[in-house]
Amino acid sequence: MKTLRLTSSDRAILLNSRFFSRLPRTAAEAILEGAHVSTHEEHDTLFRQDDPIDDVLVVLSGLVRLYRLGKDGREADIAVFQKGEVIGVNTMFLDRRATANAQAAEPSIIARLESRKLHQLAAEDTGVAQALLELLCHHGKLTEDCLAEDRLLTAPQRVANYILSHCPIGSESFSFRLPFQKNVLAGKLGLAPEALSRAFSTLRQSGVVVKGRVIEIRDRQALEQF
Amino acid sequence: MKTLRLTSSDRAILLNSRFFSRLPRTAAEAILEGAHVSTHEEHDTLFRQDDPIDDVLVVLSGLVRLYRLGKDGREADIAVFQKGEVIGVNTMFLDRRATANAQAAEPSIIARLESRKLHQLAAEDTGVAQALLELLCHHGKLTEDCLAEDRLLTAPQRVANYILSHCPIGSESFSFRLPFQKNVLAGKLGLAPEALSRAFSTLRQSGVVVKGRVIEIRDRQALEQF
DNA sequence: GTCGTGAATTGACCCGCATCAAACAACTTT
DNA sequence: AAAGTTGTTTGATGCGGGTCAATTCACGAC
């Protein structure tokens, strides 16, 4: 891993991200001031549970998995972050210690923002605070969704849900490419890879065709009522 | 359900709550201005998923269960709120629609704060925003904890965890009274009531004695390593 | 105290998914 | 083309916990 300054394309990615685009421009600039960039290989650990955290991370490219460890060493994914998503805001307002482990799930480029500075800006500028509030609410909702899905849905239902969430409204049949390995998807859905595979083959009878990373949906209705 | 103004003891409960105590005093006063109170019987519904929400709720007494419904009518608890806890902040910064159902799990008294006003105060006063940020981070962490527990721990382990979280540090044996029905605890832990019961009887061999709502712990060590 | 009602427990059974092992497939490497 | 390497699928098996039914228990009303 090496640390660099931001390139102009890095800046562009950041400024277009969901979070930055809600930030007052001056604040966005101020935060970018102290930003650095690091590159990581697959399986690199970005931080570990209970580590003291001084930076907020933003994924510029690649994929980051956030997970907790059980006593027996098993891993439970809490969240998966893609390009433009922000990691570690929670930490900033708690005790500054990570509540989970973060690991690159593919080769990744990560922007690191000083959380002290961001925290301070939030204390000075309600626009910044507002953006953070929206970000946290959004994260919170995703986690809640996840929890509810775990408790209410079977494996094929979760997968059907995931597929539908990638389906443009109105279209009856369509196809898309998984944004990451099935491995990672399984973790995100709280499944073992084998269970994901079996779920896909169950869904075949509802018009889901899987070819490598490409998912094709032939009958949206059937999926919805699964 | 009937709606009233705040009594002075209501005010006291609010001002001592985790959230209000972090609020600038003037802001706290301002919010209390427009506050109302409602009383509810057990099983009363406070709001339903997708309902438009105009108030943030604070539990003055009793207990509120937040849950989602599955297609088949099964319920999955997202969170349980006790005295002094705040419900519906997420909603305020999203699309103002409830992401879950809320129901009184026992006879309850609820304070209702105008979320418009709170939102506005947050936009004017970074102190208010700060308090909200901390609140959201805290909620977020609890939900994450829940998700991780669901995925990593068996029923007896979750129960052991719950018990330990109520154990004052340092004491080797102690006892406490469950703050709500086992029913509710089961839901909170993502278990059927029967599973909770079985978990308790599994833990008996580790020195846990259950008498009605009172839990007695004889051997903390044994619990921790479960 | 007795009674009655809802909560909690226990037993029997079954389903979903984790786990382990092995076969396959898609890519690299040589 | 052959041999790894890594990701994915398939099969066999076992455990955890959900569900249904039947008691038993706890607690408030009387």
Out of B74, B92, B150, name the one closest to residue A147 (CB). B150
CATH number for position A168: 1.10.10.10
Q: Which residues of B touch A (CB under 8 A)?
A: 68, 70, 74, 76-78, 89-90, 92-94, 99-100, 122-126, 129-130, 132-134, 136-141, 143-144, 146-148, 150-153, 190
Domain encompassing residue B83: 3-140
Q: Which residues of A touch B (CB under 8 A)?
A: 68, 70, 74, 76-78, 89-90, 92-94, 99-100, 122-126, 129-130, 132-134, 136-141, 143-148, 150-153, 190
Instruction: Judge: A136–B140 Cβ closer than 8 Å, yes or no.
Output: yes
- Asked if the model's pLDDT at residue B2 lies above 70, the reply is no
Out of B126, B137, B144, name the one closest to residue A93 (CB). B137
pLDDT in tens, B149-207: 999 999 999 999 999 999 887 777 888 999 999 999 999 999 999 999 999 999 999 99
Which of B140, B165, B197 is the last residue in one of the domains?
B140
Q: Minimal CA–CA distance to A49: which of A22, A67, A30?
A: A67
- Asked if the model's pLDDT at residue A2 lies above 70, the reply is no
Out of A122, A126, A140, name the one closest to residue B140 (CB). A140
Which of A149, A164, A186 is the last residue in one of the domains?
A149
Do A176 and A132 share a structural domain?
A: no
CATH number for position B92: 2.60.120.10
- Asked if the model's pLDDT at residue A173 lies above 90, the reply is no
B67 domain-assigned: yes
Do B162 and B206 share a structural domain?
A: yes
Look at chain B and report how many structural domains it folds into. 2
Under DSSP, is residue A124 helix (H, G, I), strand (E, B) or coil? helix
Residues B108/B46, Cβ–Cβ less than 8 Å: no
Nucleotide nearest to A186 (CA to C1'): D8
Helix (H) or strand (E) holding B104: strand B101-104
With pLDDT > 90 as the criterion, what percentage of chain A qualifies? 83
Do A15 and A99 share a structural domain?
A: yes
Which of B85, B109, B140 is the last residue in one of the domains?
B140
- Asked if the model's pLDDT at residue A1 lies above 60, the reply is no
User: What's the gap in Å between the CA of A92 and the closest CA on chain B?
Assistant: 9
Do A98 and A157 share a structural domain?
A: no
B179 domain-assigned: yes
- Asked if the model's pLDDT at residue B140 lies above 60, the reply is yes
Work out the pLDDT band at A178, boundaries 50, 70, 90: very high
- Residue A7's pLDDT is what? 84
Lowest-confidence range among A87-96, A101-110, A166-175, B24-33?
Answer: A166-175
Alpha-carbon dihedral sign for residues A32, A35, A38, A44: negative
Work out the pLDDT band at A172, boundaries 50, 70, 90: confident
Nearest CA in chain B to A140: B140
CA–C1' B212–C3 (A): 20
Do B130 and B38 share a structural domain?
A: yes
Residues A51/A57, Cβ–Cβ less than 8 Å: no
Do B129 and B57 share a structural domain?
A: yes
Beta strands in chain A (DSSP E): 3-4, 36-40, 45-47, 55-69, 75-81, 86-87, 101-114, 174-177, 208-211, 214-217
- Count of C-beta atoms within a 10 Å radius of residue B205: 10
How high does pLDDT run on average in chain A? 93
Do A135 and A163 share a structural domain?
A: no
Do B136 and B99 share a structural domain?
A: yes
User: What's the gap in Å between the CA of A110 and the closest CA on chain B?
Assistant: 23
B150 domain-assigned: no
